[in-house]
Structure 1
Amino acid sequence: MSRTLSRKEFLQVAGAGVAGAALLGAGAGCGGSSYLPSGGSRMNVVVVILDSLRRDHVGAYGNDWIQTPTLDALAKDSLRFTRPYPESIPTIPARRAVYTGKRTWPFRNWVPQKGETFFPAGWQRIPEDQWSVAEILLDNEYDTVLITDTQHQFKPSMNFHRGFNVFDFIRGQERDRYRPKQTAPEELVQKNVVPGNDRSMVEKVRQYVANTHYYRNREEDWFAPQVFLRAIKYLEDAARAGQPFFLVVDSFDPHEPWDPPEKYVGLYGEEGYSGPEPIVPNYSKSDYLEEDELRRMRALYAAEVTMADRWLGNFLDRMDALGFLENTLLFVLSDHGVSLGEHGYTGKVDEALWPELTDIIFYVRHPEGKGSGNTSDFYASIHDIAPTILSQMGIEPWQPMDGQDLTPILEGKGPQREREHFTLGYDDYAWARDERYALVCRNDGSEARLYDLQSDPGMDRDISGSHPEVVRRMWEGYILKDAGGPLPKY
């Protein structure tokens, strides 16, 4: 599409009238400032995580063909960081940084977790000697709530609900062994894989189909709607209870599998497509896909983004109707992106640290309007969330945090400490950037790729061979320095 729809127009296109009316019809004005803790010095906190949402798929970040009216409208009411990055990748290391305010990269003392089929470095529980922001807020009489369908956090080897006195785990996403795989109708499995999908991804689809095929009759049965509807229900309960709360709404969408209702696919898909649906990518080179399959995969992902945006909008509308936007500090972010054939990869491959994987969204909405409508090019990251929350609440952290308090930027000042560069890691690869260059290499510094971001922002042309001095400077001065010495080898 050549024009970005407003949220109102989009809801009409998406057919949200009935569901929207049901969600927004009751209870307006029940919240308000009376739900601040005693003394009125603290506010509620909501953190929304959208897994695998690419920055370049959001209108407020420059996309002109994918419909994200909620995120576009939120940008006008928030401080939006234009160059945010995850502290580390993928799902579990990133969330550990969100919850603790600590750097999880470079994944020292990493122990692979038992029973995992996917365990990149750092894929482990919150260490027992680290405190989560949920534990600190719980001790300060907040209701601490986690609502999510991100099943990795609830595996027996993990402990990510630590500190949450309420947690709602919506079962059935991805590889969650919620129902026997043998119950998946084979024709539905084959409909949702392409001939080039590897065995692991076929089995992911098989488990997912077994988990979901028997109950999906309306849009509210998909996962993003379930997550945000549960979060809406919590808001309604909170409006009656009156206790200040810390709410994490962690939506696994738009992570694969990408199988949104047809009305979303119809916004982007080619008419007459009759092939199998590539709802999961191999985490590999993209040459297993035919051209029409790759186009279809991109359309399915775009459709999933739009569905997640719509249900985020329903949630924010309900926050507004209940008065909670007047007294709630809101963060909306993604944890990483996903490759969709760019640079010859699909999925999340550790060596493919290009913008499609590293670039995230990051919004902070303050109830007093601080930073509203502004942007910042500070290298904000997900481990800045916990110290910012505690600063805004006037609560001292129980241990030093690596992230920065973003309050000065919200107030139109400079950051606590300038970040002239940023580093992150994914398994046994490291990444660094500054104003001019981006560097990708293995943990021992080998296989380095260097890109000039001024002339090549998409990182398409490796210039490491002609600039060895820049590679050495960034490796030694950024990566090794931030890592505190040599990186672990796996």
Structure 2
Amino acid sequence: MNVVVIVADTWQFNYLGCYGNSWINTPNIDRLAGMSTVFENAYAEGCPTVPTRRALMTGRYTLPYGGWMPLGTRDQTLTDIMWHEAIRTALIYDTSPMHLPRFGYGRGFDTVRFFRGQEFDHFYSHDQCNLDPDRFHKPVYRDVPGKGREELLASRYCRQELLDYLPQRQHWRGEEDQMVARVAGEAIAYLQQRDKSRPFFLWIDSFDPHEPWDPPSVWDPDLCCPYDPEYTGMEIINPVPTYAEGYLTEAEEHHIRMLYAEKITLVDKWLGKVLDTLAQERLMDDTLVVFLSDHGQPLGRGVHGHGIMRKCRPWPYEELVHIPLIIHCPDAAPRRVASFVQTVDIAPTILSFLGITERGARMQGKNLLPLIRGEKDSVRDFAIAGYYNFSWSMITEDWSYIHWLEEKHFKENPLKAAAAVGLHDYQENTHVWTCTPGSEAQLPRSDELYDRRKDPFQQDNLLGADSGTATDLNRMLFDFMRSLKAEE
């Protein structure tokens, strides 16, 4: 038996046809969904990029323990386990935060193929560039005490991201040069040239559709964005992570979402070629195929992102933490599952499929195969999500509740993006566990409570009207976190 994991970074779950979107074109992932299990309530427990992948690879929670952390000597990853099982392993990716030397997320893979040029990578920044970054960059600066300087720093960093990215981008001549195309092409080559005498584990990690959102319509004068054909304004491909109000016009904000949608359609096309190759190589009958994203993305006002553009900390809202998760299991009929599942559940599910569960004893996730095979209806009554040292949230069938760990962080730095703080310089703080038993019942004013059935995208905070429910959820959340801490 083989396993293929496909991670597409920054994909809002509701930007997929199989999750109910009626206007976006994602035929290939939808086709996979039609032969697979679609998890309707999958959540990333600790955001964003690296914490999620740590949970995926180790089957252990990250949220109560740490943020952007390297793999440690006590961490047991899927590839650590497969090293002892004569399974060929390969990682094909362009997700540069995983590749940063301090993190070590290529550990244990027999084959590693990395494509340079995405976020945090300055490899091309010294090349001469004929593209003006200010053609695609809209800065922001508001003279608001405590926020203006921060937004200015974020603007400068976003412009620097373009200075890193555009020198290589200027040479692209067609779709085949897109980063997702290169990742998909290498994955296809691996599948076609693999050692067919050995089982394999292939991890494909595409940073697209992560920003910058520069699909073909941005570059080709003969094209217009298929989702926003009448737009004639500035192409803001790398917006500043901040409040949309006072920064972007409604037309600009809408167009950014449509560029994101166009990029998603492009990613769907190239991942579809990988799925086609799996079928052509007759692998679908003996291969577990897992498709998911690490997190979504706030994309502006209202239900699109609570007024936020890009994943500013510390808000763990639905548009960020609710993720698509589709698993094709050869011996299971297609179905949709409503049970809550989490990123920590992927690793134990893979080990169970491969029949080597005894090696995953330290994993905290749940095996999802009983759900996939229709043997169970549920494995969890709730999900958790959040940002380490900033926020915890609990999602149940009826409610979603958000708790701020340190109110001072929320008040002093509400717009801190990863860029502005230089790879999360707050990660060493360990004051998360300073809450004493009983103190959680005294809810800080900033906590939030939403009726999940009536208000799934969390627009109407009911904390003041139903503090009793919030207190109950707060206690449940802290009890669960204490249980995880006890297993550390």
Place the TM-score, normalised by the shorter chain, in its bin. Answer: 0.7 to 0.9
Structure-2 residue corresponding to 1:225: 181
Cα displacement string for residues 383-405 of structure 1 (whole angstroms, at most 9, x for unaligned residues): 11111111111112254210001
Equivalent residue runs for 1:11-90 within 5 Å: 43-90=1-48
Equivalent residue runs for 1:366-377 within 5 Å: 366-368=329-331, 370=332, 372-377=333-338
Q: CA, structure 1 residues 411+485, in 2 after alignment: closer, same or farther (shift >3 Å)?
A: closer
Equivalent residue runs for 1:206-355 within 5 Å: 206-213=163-170, 215-238=171-194, 241-262=196-217, 266-271=225-230, 273=232, 275-287=233-245, 288-341=247-300, 342-355=305-318
Asked if 1:154 is matched to 2:65, the reply is no
- Which of 155, 163, 172 aligns to 2:117? It is 172
Q: CA, structure 1 residues 270+181, in 2 after alignment: closer, same or farther (shift >3 Å)?
A: farther
Structure-2 residue corresponding to 1:452: 451
Measure the CA separation in 2 of the matches of 1:188 and 1:305: 25
Q: SS at 1:408's partner residue? A: helix
- Which of 385, 397, 411 aligns to 2:346? It is 385
CA contact (8 A) 1:97 1:382 kept: yes
Q: SS at 2:63's partner residue? A: coil
Q: Unaligned 5+ residue runs, structure 1?
A: 1-42, 111-121
Q: SS at 1:464's partner residue? A: coil
Measure the CA separation in 2 of the matches of 1:69 and 1:407: 25
Cα displacement string for residues 49-74 of structure 1 (whole angstroms, at most 9, x for unaligned residues): 01000011100100011101011111
Structure-2 residue corresponding to 1:476: 475
Q: What amino acid is aligned across from residue 313 of structure 1 in structure 2?
A: G
Q: Unaligned 5+ residue runs, structure 2?
A: 141-153, 407-442
Q: SS at 1:57's partner residue? A: coil
Deviation at 1:327, TM superposition (A): 1.3
Measure the CA separation in 2 of the matches of 1:194 and 1:407: 47
Measure the CA separation in 1 of the matches of 2:68 and 2:310: 17
Measure the CA separation in 2 of the matches of 1:63 and 1:486: 36
Deviation at 1:181, TM superposition (A): 4.5
Asked if 1:188 is matched to 2:188, the reply is no
CA contact (8 A) 1:100 1:133 kept: yes
Deviation at 1:270, TM superposition (A): 2.7
Identity %: 33
CA contact (8 A) 1:47 1:330 kept: yes
Measure the CA separation in 2 of the matches of 1:296 and 1:160: 34
Asked if 1:101 is matched to 2:45, the reply is no
CA contact (8 A) 2:3 2:200 kept: yes
CA contact (8 A) 1:391 1:405 kept: yes
TM-score normalised by structure 1 residue count: 0.83
CA contact (8 A) 1:175 1:208 kept: no
CA contact (8 A) 1:70 1:312 kept: yes
Range that drifts further, 48-57 or 344-353 = 344-353
Deviation at 1:373, TM superposition (A): 2.1
TM-score normalised by structure 2 residue count: 0.83
Deviation at 1:272, TM superposition (A): 5.2
CA contact (8 A) 2:9 2:206 kept: yes
Q: CA, structure 1 residues 317+421, in 2 after alignment: closer, same or farther (shift >3 Å)?
A: same
Deviation at 1:292, TM superposition (A): 2.0
Measure the CA separation in 1 of the matches of 2:205 and 2:60: 19
Measure the CA separation in 2 of the matches of 1:77 and 1:208: 37
